[in-house]
Amino acid sequence: MPWQHSLLLLYTVLSECESAKTQNLKRKFPNDFRFGAATAAYQIEGGWNADGKTESIWDHVAHTKPCAIDNCSNGDVAADSYHLHKRDVEIMRELGLDYYRFSLSWPRILPTGFPDKINEAGVQYYNNLIDEMLKYNIEPVVTIYHWDLPQKLQEMGGWTNPYIIDWYTDYARVAFELFGEKVKNWITVNEPEQICYFGYGNNLHAPLLNITGVADYLCAKNVLLAHAKAYHVYDEEYRPNQGGAIFISISAQYYDYEFKEYKDAAEDANDFTWAIYSHPIFSKYGDFPSSVKERVKAKSIQQGFPRSRLPELTPTEIETIRGSSDYFGLNHYFTFYVYRNESVKGLYPCPSKDDDLEVAIYQKEEWKGGQINVNKIVPSGFYKLLTKIKNYYNNPPVIITENGFATKRGLDDDDRVTYITLYINAMLDAIDDGSDIRSYTVWSMMDSLEWLGGFSECYGLYEVDFESPQRTRTPRKSAFVYKQIVRTRELDWHYEPDTDVITIDEGH
């Protein structure tokens, strides 16, 4: 759309933000604030069986259920970053990024899933990428696990098998040994809710188990303990010499209430979807939220189970998990309204997490959406979420590890510009009101395979031509806007980029 129309949309949404601060047309960031962009291995690397890499759960789904992914797509080649890492680093330099968040592929490094065999070709790929970044003073922020579990481990139960706590810790230790001298920021696990509820309690992500109300809760306990054990291994054995930081990244969408009688329902929705993972780590006393424990236990007994379907955390396990993250890594995209009344009873499968929670969600028709319908522009929800995290957990240091907006293909992505600008503005409001937010990471640096959404959901600042053998990367308008924010350390409502060419900044 013409930029005047984009600006009109921006101010229309601004008028709904109910924040006096949004009237400022230029806003400065804290002096030490940092900016990055993110991707994940399966989504961009390709080379699915190259040079000794073995099958992941996503490879397995793509090849055995080929049309589970939109348009029968797969990540066999994707953006081909396995062969194009130097172009990826050029993009980082063009954007002027302080850091780049990427993930390691477990089966690329450990083909058997275990440390008995380390794939040197896979190790060399990541070393080449890291070294190219460091050459230009771009910091690697490395996610150890971003959903690509080795298929052989899945066949042994995956995240429902308690032995995965050791399997994952062994893998993390290999990563610390191989890359710890160069990598100073580690993310243990990306989005446990999506791993457990989407993959084990539903059929929205690999491995598509859909054993709801049981497998997802088993997964939750094991993911938390695996994360915590890897944290303590790093903290005790590697941090003294390597001097880095390690934390988890939690996907927290915000559940709000439009009517006061649904306040408790909204609280429960936040507890069941993200605080079930954050509360054990960041709260004063640890453990799962009391609302989750009470509701699941009551439902389980009603349904004839001899005990709660939510596995108990022992006192030792509670202490192991509590405090096991240097930052609150936060991924955020959506806001929903919640209600709970008689119409919700019996709405969901029984047993299931949804039935345990027993709420319905909705969004306002006037909220502007993108290529993914629920990905609507509601910056006030982001502000409320950040404030809730501050108040829930005594203001932990927060790193925004993902935030972004899906559009269709094309270079003029004004809606993404509006979304990113407004959400960064809401983040600045939260900082002004005392939230300890250290950095912001846009999802994503370039288009990628968006899991079951395939290539139809475009989150990238750079468009990737997936029809081209070269997988050409071309900057969208949002790339120019984000570059200006990073360069100036300033949010300028009046800025309108010249999108003819994007250049590499000095120093990058």
Q: pLDDT, tens digit, for every residue of 313-346?
A: 999 999 999 999 999 999 999 999 999 999 999 9
Cα–Cα distance for residue pair 242/245, rounded to 1 Å: 9
Tell me, what amino acid is at 490? E
| pLDDT the model gives residue 499 | 86
Q: What is the span of the domain harbouring residue 217? A: 33-252+380-492
Other beta carbons less than 10 A from residue 412's beta carbon: 16
Give the residue carrying structure tokens 């319908």: 373
For residue 360, give the amino acid letter: A
Q: Is residue 274 part of a domain?
A: no
What pLDDT score does 24 carry?
57
In a domain? residue 351: no
Look up the pTM and report it.
0.95
Task: Say if CB 430 and CB 383 are below 8 A apart.
Answer: yes
CB atoms within 10 A of CB 122: 24
Under 8 Å between Cβ of 101 and 143: yes
Q: Average pLDDT in the 291-299 region?
A: 98
Does pLDDT of 20 surpass 50?
no
pLDDT in tens, 238-290: 999 999 999 999 999 999 999 999 999 999 999 999 999 999 999 999 999 99
And the tokens for 441? Answer: 């990471």
- What CATH number should be reported for the domain holding residue 62? 3.20.20.80
If you average pLDDT over every residue of the chain, what do you get?
94
pLDDT digits (tens, 9 = 90+) for 341-388: 999 999 999 999 999 999 999 999 999 888 888 899 999 999 999 999
Q: How confident is the model at residue 502 (pLDDT cuts 50, 70, 90)?
A: confident
Residue 458 is given by DSSP the state B
- For the chain, the first-to-last Cα distance in angstroms comes to 32
Structure tokens at 123: 């190790």
Residue 442 bridge partners (DSSP): 37
Q: What percent of the chain has pLDDT over 90?
A: 91
166-195 pLDDT per residue, tens: 999 999 999 999 999 999 999 999 999 999
Residue type, 122: G
Q: Give per-residue pLDDT as tens, 106-132.
A: 999 999 999 999 999 999 999 999 999
Report H helices in 136-260.
151-154, 164-179, 192-193, 215-233, 239-242
463 is catalytic: no
Q: Of these residues, 45, 193, 317, 402, which one is catalytic? A: 402
Does residue 231 sit within a domain? yes
At 410, is the secondary structure helix, strand, or coil? coil
Task: Please state, in angstroms and rounded to a whole number, the distance separating the CA atoms of residues 141 and 325.
Answer: 15
pLDDT band at 507 (very low <50, low <70, confident <90, very high): low
Tell me: pLDDT of 440 over 80. Answer: yes
In a domain, 336, yes or no: no
Rounded to the nearest 10°, the torsion over CA 92, 97, 98, 102 is: -50
Given a cut of 90, whether residue 55 has pLDDT beyond it is yes
Q: What is the mean pLDDT of residues 419-431?
A: 98
Task: Report the pLDDT value the prediction gives residue 10, as an integer from 0 to 100.
Answer: 46
Specify if 37 maps to a domain: yes
pLDDT at residue number 508: 61
438 in a structural domain: yes
Q: Distance (Å, rounded) from C-alpha 229 to C-alpha 57?
A: 23
- Tens of pLDDT, residue by residue over 192-239, are 999 999 999 999 999 999 999 999 999 999 999 999 999 999 999 999
pLDDT higher than 70, residue 14: no
Residue 464 β-bridge partners: 473
Residues 6+ apart with CB under 8 A from 362: 336, 337, 339
Q: Concatenated DSSP letters for 4-56?
A: HHHHHHHHHHHTTS--GGGG-SEEEPPTT-EEEEE--HHHH---TTGGG---B
DSSP E strand stretches across 252-356: 254-256, 328-331, 335-339
Q: What one-character-per-residue DSSP string does 356-379 give?
A: HH--EEE--TTS---SSTT----H
C-beta of residue 415 within 8 angstroms of C-beta of residue 407: yes
Report how far residue 330's alpha carbon sits from residue 278's, in angstroms, rounded to the nearest whole number: 10
- What's the domain count of the chain? 1
The answer to the question of residue 243 being in a domain is: yes
pLDDT for 6 equals: 40
Indicate whether 8 pLDDT > 60.
Answer: no
CA distance 96 to 35: 9
Task: Spell out the residues 6+ positions from residue 250 whose beta carbon is closer than 8 angstroms to its own.
Answer: 191, 192, 193, 274, 277, 278, 328, 329, 330, 331
Check residues 184 and 494 and name the one with the higher pLDDT. 184
More confident residue, 439 or 19: 439
Do 79 and 448 touch, CB atoms closer than 8 A? yes
- What's 275's DSSP letter? I
Percent of the chain with pLDDT over 70: 95
Residue carrying the six token digits 């389980």:
300
In a domain, 281, yes or no: no
pLDDT score of 17: 46
